Structure 1
Amino acid sequence: MNKELTSDPAAAARHARYGTLPERIRFEDMTEEVEAEPSGGVNASYNPEGSWKYYSCLALDLGL
């Protein structure tokens, strides 16, 4: 790659502002480990009587 210095003031301003890339972030710094609740939380319980609310069927939606 050929790097040439230019006398363009706009190019110099861009290079001064964006000339270097930021430091690399390690993968370990991007992730966070959190322990899950042993019971699964309150919302994890299954209610068979209320499960019909979330049932979706194309034939029923079309009234067939």
Structure 2
Amino acid sequence: MVSESHLTIAYRVVITLILVGFAMLCQPFSMALFSLGFPILMVGVVGFMILDHIPSKPPINQEN
């Protein structure tokens, strides 16, 4: 189990990778960026799918 804050950061990273990869595939300026766009997009998608299967740590109840 992973804490909620770590999962939030990881989700932000993989969503950023997906968006950057998609933008790299859509830009008409550089063939090098276009060539790297698909692998970056795939890393983001696979990372997102993996993160969706990791359970978050339940919050700790402090009863006083």
For CA contacts below 8 A with separation 6 or more, give which structure has more relative contact order.
2
Structure (1/2) with the larger helix percentage? 2
> TM-score scaled by structure 2?
0.25
Q: Give 1 or 2 for the bigger CA radius of gyration.
A: 1
